[in-house]
Amino acid sequence: MSFNIPKTSKKRIVIVGGGFGGLQLANKLKKSDYQVVLVDKNNYHQFLPLIYQVASGGMEPSSIAFPFRNVYKNRKKSFFFRLAKARAVVPELDVLQTSIGKIEYDYLIFAAGTVSNFFGNKNIEEVAMPMKNISEAMGLRNALLGNFERAITCATEEEKKELLNVVIVGGGATGIEIAGALSEMKRYVIPKDYPEIKPDDLKIYLVEAADRLLQGMTPKSSEDSAKSLEEMGVKVILGKKVADYNNRNVVFENGEVIPTRTLIWTSGVTAVRIGNMNPSVIGRGGRIVVDEFNRVEGYDNIFAIGDQCLQTTDPAFPNGHPQLAQVAIQQGTLLAANFNRMQSGQTLKPFRYNDLGSMATIGRNRAVVDLPKLHFKGWFAWAMWLFVHLRSILGVRNKLFVLLNWIWNYITYDYTMRLIVYARKAKEVKEREEREAQTHLGEDILKNSHELQN
Amino acid sequence: MSFNIPKTSKKRIVIVGGGFGGLQLANKLKKSDYQVVLVDKNNYHQFLPLIYQVASGGMEPSSIAFPFRNVYKNRKKSFFFRLAKARAVVPELDVLQTSIGKIEYDYLIFAAGTVSNFFGNKNIEEVAMPMKNISEAMGLRNALLGNFERAITCATEEEKKELLNVVIVGGGATGIEIAGALSEMKRYVIPKDYPEIKPDDLKIYLVEAADRLLQGMTPKSSEDSAKSLEEMGVKVILGKKVADYNNRNVVFENGEVIPTRTLIWTSGVTAVRIGNMNPSVIGRGGRIVVDEFNRVEGYDNIFAIGDQCLQTTDPAFPNGHPQLAQVAIQQGTLLAANFNRMQSGQTLKPFRYNDLGSMATIGRNRAVVDLPKLHFKGWFAWAMWLFVHLRSILGVRNKLFVLLNWIWNYITYDYTMRLIVYARKAKEVKEREEREAQTHLGEDILKNSHELQN
């Protein structure tokens, strides 16, 4: 028995990570004859496309999160959720080592996504605020609001400048979305709520190392979004690379600096690392190299999907797929179907990504949409963005509350959730975190199966 | 200039604490000819009567919190908010020392309420989870949900028992409300979401040292609420005092123990202490003794209202008023009126508490209400509780979202906000907290005005 999960005649599929890919896979296995175990370090699925709205105080965390146990409450016998971090895999024993102990699998699927990549710069890593999860988005919101408060009472003009300069590094969708949201906060919220701050003193910089924003989209979208952001008062800096952070300054490669205490990092990602994997299967960006069926090379019963994997077998994407929710969802769907095929002895189908288009929102009535043969922007693009995202959010309650929030914010020009609040950490929780940290077994430590911990 | 607040011809009233009393006072001074400065350690007002719903996952923090800057957005010239902790007062200079520097006042009002009182027991203080603010309620929710997850995978029966026993100390309104909410979670949520936990293994104990619950209410209400809770599966323990916590056991005075890792503390409170106050004005429960106009004895221009003060001049309450929102609100109202009287040279009115009754909710369709001449319970009492509380919540948005949440939870029998999430603390925030902690000047340190910090 692993983790008190009953051993039955059903084959056990262990999924690491309940993001778009892992969740889709688990959903599509609903009627299958497998036992499904989902392992995630959070007890909820996060709808990351709206995370910037949590960071800017326009949305509650619970509106874009859905507890896994709630998703699967009607699948008591075939579905198990375990709150744990995956540490390492022991393929010769078919065992996954996690922060709370080991778990046996018949099939193991990695769908753990990516973490922020600071390209080895410790100074940046220490101060940068990423937006990869709800916890970080809440932390960013708290820090931003705290800086506004502090800017009013601080002693020097220099400090005030540092507190009111916001530098966003990374011109992808998340970067432009948070830049847009902050510029709306500057325009609509600051004058009302912070009469002691001159709105123009709040300066928002969006920095992208490449020569255009939204590199995954069409040049037209890049151009439109940069133009919109500039109109909204965001300083868009293209073709400059952030090299360091020190003395409360963002330092560019060419030596230029921007003083700031708010460095928002949406720049690079690297795939989540799993201990004890054969280094030969780790490709570009730390991604796990898989074949056309998302099977990890050299392993029979280990798969990887979504951002964490690199699949170069799709003729249209010889360098691998972009790291997008759509890819993960489609891979999850196909892998579930292939598992069902496996059981009935059918041949498996290879993965082909069907690009449905992509979109990014910039602000009120402003968005850009690239469909396979069509680019458009403006109010209709914005409405489409809202509709597509609302539709994708899990659960009726969340859909309802997100919609109401949007309507409220749209009418009132207000982001109402401007609380600076940290949950108090109970002693029991701190102790458990320490205990679980001690069970960490990275690939450096785990030499053989004798070292497995219970 | 203090904190960049302009010095005008208007007299400045500094209010410490934006709870029910402080907020009411600030509101009622809206049309006055005073400059109002509100100092609070949070940037939002908390509606504490619903805090148990945040702790049990039925309500979002933002639904019961209202940012002060939002409350006062239309009073830019006469109202100032400062995010800071009050440390000490220097009456001879009319200066308040805070965590972010000093602030001058013409009138100073303490409305900072109370903090939890652990009666000097360090073991209890270390592990107990109070419910005095949103941060603690979020922490309690995270800890409870984490314990449920852990109970499923823990190694021993003993550990499981500790994880699933919940001991609530304090049989006041907060204690019975959280007990009721947890018993509903046990009944409606656990069977659906945690099929691996036997609902009966989750044991909820409500401990009260006195011989009845709800001592501030009628004996009939005490009896009804105890009966309701027992019916709902809560073990109500009366007349036993918790003496200690060790080895993961709550220890009673008579030596009995209950093993638990979840000790919820709603038992005692003590008034917030302000450094450098004359010890002679500190009365029972750390409360600041005030005269019939809420003026602190021996100080001309310092006042205290709400839970933080002790007023024995009201003929109907010779031992002081109960520490209730209603008292604070009425004192805030009167003090504002008295400030206006002061300016027009009228004589001040003494405070008389008008007891409108009290109520507590226990669960679905269950509540107790004591009106001055009437006690009732059941569905109507519950509906009245909902109505009164909804009416008291600040802001149209919050009213709307609270109502929708209640309707949703009532229909679905579900508490949907079951996320275990902590906001990530940015380095800038950690550093600021450390800096501000260093400016702490308690009454032991502050000997004279030379030690004042800027």
Compute the distance between CA of residue B375 and CA of residue B222 in angstroms, rounded to an integer: 11
CB contact under 8 A, A427 and B150: no
Compute the distance between CA of residue A293 and CA of residue A346 in angstroms, rounded to an integer: 13
Q: Which CATH architecture has domain B11-113+272-356+426-445?
A: 3-Layer(bba) Sandwich (3.50)
Q: Which residues pair with A282 in a beta bridge?
A: A288
- Read off the amino acid at residue A415: Y
Compute the distance between CA of residue B253 and CA of residue B266 in angstroms, rounded to an integer: 18
Identify all chain B residues contacting A61, using CB atoms and an 8 Å cutoff.
419, 421
Name the fold adopted by A11-113+272-356+425-443.
FAD/NAD(P)-binding domain (3.50.50)
Tokens of A352: 């082909």
Residues of chain A with pLDDT under 70: 1-3, 416, 439-454
Return the axis-axis angle of helices A325-343 and A20-28, rounded to nearest 10°.
30
ipTM of the complex: 0.92
Residue of B nearest to A125 (CA): B427
3-state secondary structure of A388: helix
Burial per residue of A312-340, b for 16 or more beta-carbon CB atoms within 10 angstroms, e otherwise:
bebeebeebbebbbbbbbbbbbbbbbbbb
* Contact assessment for residue B191 and residue B199, using Cβ atoms and an 8 Å cutoff: yes
CB contact under 8 A, A418 and B69: yes
Locate the DSSP E strands across A356-430.
358-363, 366-371, 374-377
Residue B361, classified by CB atoms within 10 Å of its CB into exposed (0-12), middle (13-18) or buried (19+), is buried
Domain ranges of chain A: 11-113+272-356+425-443, 118-267
CB contact set of B277 (below 8 Å; sequence gap of 6+)? B89, B288, B296, B443
Q: For the domain bounded by B119-267, which CATH number is listed?
A: 3.50.50.100
Identify all chain A residues contacting B401, using CB atoms and an 8 Å cutoff.
401, 404
CB contact under 8 A, A138 and B424: yes
Compute the distance between CA of residue B6 and CA of residue B79 in angstroms, rounded to an integer: 11
Tokens of A325: 């929710």
Locate the DSSP E strands across B315-451.
358-363, 366-371, 374-377
Residues 23-62 of A with CB under 8 A from B: 42-44, 60-62
What pLDDT does residue B440 have?
55
What pLDDT does residue A443 have?
39
Identify all chain B residues contacting A432, using CB atoms and an 8 Å cutoff.
146, 150
A246 touches chain B (CB under 8 A): no
What pLDDT does residue A440 have?
55
Q: Tell me which H or E stretch contains B101.
A: strand B101-104
A301 touches chain B (CB under 8 A): no
What pLDDT does residue A1 have?
45
What pLDDT does residue A418 have?
85
pLDDT tens string A256-273: 999 999 999 999 899 999
Pick A429's closest partner by Cβ from B70, B76, B146: B146
Q: For the domain bounded by A118-267, which CATH number is listed?
A: 3.50.50.100
CB contact set of A254 (below 8 Å; sequence gap of 6+)? A240
- Find which of A63, A422, A430, A431 to mutate to test the B interface (most B CBs within 10 Å of its CB): A422
CA nearest to A298, candidates A281, A282, A274, A320 = A281
Q: Which residues pair with B407 in a beta bridge?
A: none
B262 touches chain A (CB under 8 A): yes
CB contact under 8 A, A4 and B145: no
What pLDDT does residue A439 have?
61
* Cα–Cα distances in angstroms (integers) from residue A452 to residues A87, A426, A438, B154, in the given order: 11, 29, 13, 17
Q: How far is CA A329 from the centre of its chain?
A: 14
CB contact under 8 A, A427 and B152: no
pLDDT tens string A111-124: 999 999 999 999 99
CA nearest to B146, candidates A88, A47, A41, A104 = A41
Per-residue pLDDT 10s for chain B (454 aa) are 456 788 899 999 999 999 999 999 999 998 899 999 999 999 999 999 999 999 999 888 999 999 999 888 877 788 999 999 999 999 999 999 999 899 999 999 999 999 999 999 999 999 999 999 999 999 999 999 999 999 999 989 999 999 999 999 999 999 999 999 999 999 999 999 999 999 999 999 999 999 999 999 999 999 999 999 999 999 999 999 999 999 999 999 999 999 999 999 999 899 999 999 999 999 999 999 999 999 999 999 999 999 999 999 999 999 999 999 999 999 999 999 999 999 999 999 999 999 999 999 999 999 999 999 999 999 999 999 999 999 999 888 899 999 998 998 899 887 767 889 999 999 989 998 888 877 654 433 444 444 554 4
CB contact under 8 A, A3 and B152: yes
Pick B139's closest partner by Cβ from A76, A426, A432: A426
Q: Which residues pair with A12 in a beta bridge?
A: A35
Residue tagged 């021996």 (tokens): B298
A147 touches chain B (CB under 8 A): yes
Locate the DSSP E strands across A256-378.
257-259, 262-265, 268-271, 288-290, 302-304, 309-311, 358-363, 366-371, 374-377
H-helix segments, B98-218: 122-127, 134-153, 157-164, 173-184, 190-193
Is it true that B11-113+272-356+426-445 and B119-267 share their CATH fold? yes
Compute the distance between CA of residue A174 and CA of residue A214 in angstroms, rounded to an integer: 10
Task: Output Rg (C-alpha) for chain A, integer angstroms.
Answer: 23
CB contact under 8 A, A4 and B196: yes
pTM of the complete model:
0.94
CB contact under 8 A, B423 and A421: yes
